[in-house]
A and B are shown apart, each in its own frame.
Chain A
Amino acid sequence: MTIIRTDPLSSPHCRHLDKERELIHVDCASHVYPDGSVGIHDMCFYVQKNEIVALCGPNGSGKSTLIEHLNGLLTPSEGNIAVNGRSITKGEITDLWREVGVVFQQSDDQLFAPTVLDDVMFGPLNMGMSREAALNAATGALEAVGAADLVQKLPNYLSGGQKRLISIAGILAMKPRIIALDEPTSDLDPVHSGMIEGLILELKQRFGISVVIATHDLDLAARIADRVCLVRKGSVFAEGTPDEIFYDEELLQETGLKPPQIVRVYRAYCRMQGILVDQHPISIEGMMAAIHGK
């Protein structure tokens, strides 16, 4: 994959990469909030089967607004969003929440039910599952995120990391095809961040769920994303694999982001050794291999 710079002015529609694998296609969608502020503008974005996409951009760039569009919480003022070829704008699909689950940035906003079990069962019951089926789905989801022991706890007494796990379980129990996570590791300690990171990889590898993460933690994106989309001023203006994107200093500067730690360390090493940055490692293992290879 090479870096694709998106210029909305150059074409009236966003391109399809691979229609067969495409789950969501956001076609030149724009959203203007009632107060007149622009959430997204001519946004082109797609999600394919079984991939992790990272939406990276500074605060206020439109990542969260895009995520709310993916779930149907917001509908575009202009443009179109299609899920499995069915258009939201044309009203062909109205219950997008069944297909795309959203894990919000603040877990306290998501956990509203009296107990953990009630909260995780909330989605499955809304899907029309019987109480027993919803209970099974909730128990299974809690086991999958490693929080089966929290089933009877009250959300008030959970740590930030546990709340985040329960939030993910609440979505996983609905068995969506895509899960979008807004800043999944913000405010978490390194241990819980690591757990969430492992869980996101598991969502893709074990459950075959496509994952969209909105983050400005580029280290996280570098470690787990298959594809990175840089978001600026409400539009995806470049996309590519993590190694392509994160080694393009000019691109990151344009977006207002700094390269991940691993990229900075590797660049510093190369500078100190007086050698060319001809490889693009984005993991510790990759960097070690690159250093030993030199």
Chain B
Amino acid sequence: MSAASLSDHIPDLNLITYYAEKQQSCFSCLSPWTKFAYLILIILLVTLSGNLAVLSVLYLVLLLVYAAAHLPVRKLLGWYTMPAVFVLSLVGLMAWSEPGNPVISFAVAGFPLVLTDKGILLIITLLLKALIVVTFSLFFLMTTRYMHFSAMIYRIFPSPLDQIFLMAYRFLFLTLAMTASILKAVRSRGGGLIHSVRVQGRMFAEVFALVFIRSFERSERVHKAMIARGFSGSYGTATTIPALRLTEYLLIFVGAAVVLAVALVIPSYGG
């Protein structure tokens, strides 16, 4: 598949899968279970600790690991756009009501709005937390072969969630390819994503309606093809996931100990 990326700000599934299948870094040799365990530990850590210093160190370490795995660091900056926008749109409102020393204050329609140092700290902390999880998730996806990843999903999630995921992943590729080809057709005639949304809003609505309708039709055809092979409601994967080695058990143990220590010892704020 040679579908072009939809946007520099949306994680490119094709590129992610390319890196995952290339298996060129030492992290690819790790069992997917080890990386999954670390993902859980990292989520636990960012949930339990709000210490800025801890989060900053963790983020820097993850960036180094990401770079050491020969993954595209520049792309990462673009891919941060969506989580950053998501966090800012949520925290942007909450930050104004945080108590602390005022940094910026002004009035809107008679109501005073004050942004305090704690408010700014909250924005930075939550942004860091989001970027940490996004960075490690991307690292996990880009160093784990998809066949192993899907087998993990099959074993972890209960039915029908596992079925939905297994089917959705492949379908996502097809829908993205379809969207990319439609956008290519738009661009080939002078349209552009931002330009066209502004100027040709109606046309874009039609494009996305077309993607929806085509996806719907395709899902009907896929379902038909599954029924033709006796599909009765569930299917599994045949892949065996590489087992954990002794050193990996140790690695997880050390990670868990660090998370526990950080969560218990270091206070949340004021780092």
Give me the interface of A with B, judged by CB distance under 8 Å.
Answer: 68, 71, 73, 95, 97-98, 101-102, 104, 106, 108-115, 117-118, 121-123, 125-127, 131, 134-135, 138, 152, 154-157, 170-171, 174
Given A114-B147, A115-B150, A126-B230, CB of A104 within 8 Å of CB of B171: no
For the complex, is B174 an interface residue (Cβ under 8 Å from A)?
yes
Q: How far is the CB of B202 from chain A (nearest CB, A)?
A: 28
The interface residues of chain B lying within 8 Å CB-to-CB of A126 are 229-232, 235
The 9 closest A-B pairs by CB, nearest first: A126-B230, A114-B150, A123-B229, A109-B221, A110-B225, A115-B147, A102-B228, A156-B173, A156-B1
Residue pair B226, A135 in contact (C-beta under 8 Å): no
Residue pair B170, A135 in contact (C-beta under 8 Å): no
Number of interface residues of B (CB under 8 A): 31
Given A114-B237, A115-B239, A117-B239, CB of A154 within 8 Å of CB of B146: yes
Residue pair B21, A121 in contact (C-beta under 8 Å): no
Closest Cβ neighbor of A138 among chain B residues: B238
For the complex, is B261 an interface residue (Cβ under 8 Å from A)?
no
State in angstroms the CA–CA spacing of A115 and B171 once bound together. Answer: 13
Residue pair B170, A155 in contact (C-beta under 8 Å): yes
Q: How far is the CB of A251 from chain B (nearest CB, A)?
A: 32
Please name 8 pairs of A and B residues whose Cβ atoms are closer than 8 Å in the assembled complex, sorted by A. A106-B221, A109-B218, A109-B222, A114-B150, A115-B146, A131-B238, A138-B238, A154-B21
Question: What are the interface flags for B193-233 relative to A under an 8 Å C-beta threshold, 1 for contact and 0 otherwise?
Answer: 00000000000000000000000001001101111111110
Q: How far is the CB of B141 from chain A (nearest CB, A)?
A: 13
Closest Cβ neighbor of A173 among chain B residues: B229
The interface residues of chain A lying within 8 Å CB-to-CB of B225 are 102, 104, 109-110, 112
Q: How far is the CB of A177 from chain B (nearest CB, A)?
A: 15
For the complex, is B51 an interface residue (Cβ under 8 Å from A)?
no
Residue pair B238, A135 in contact (C-beta under 8 Å): yes
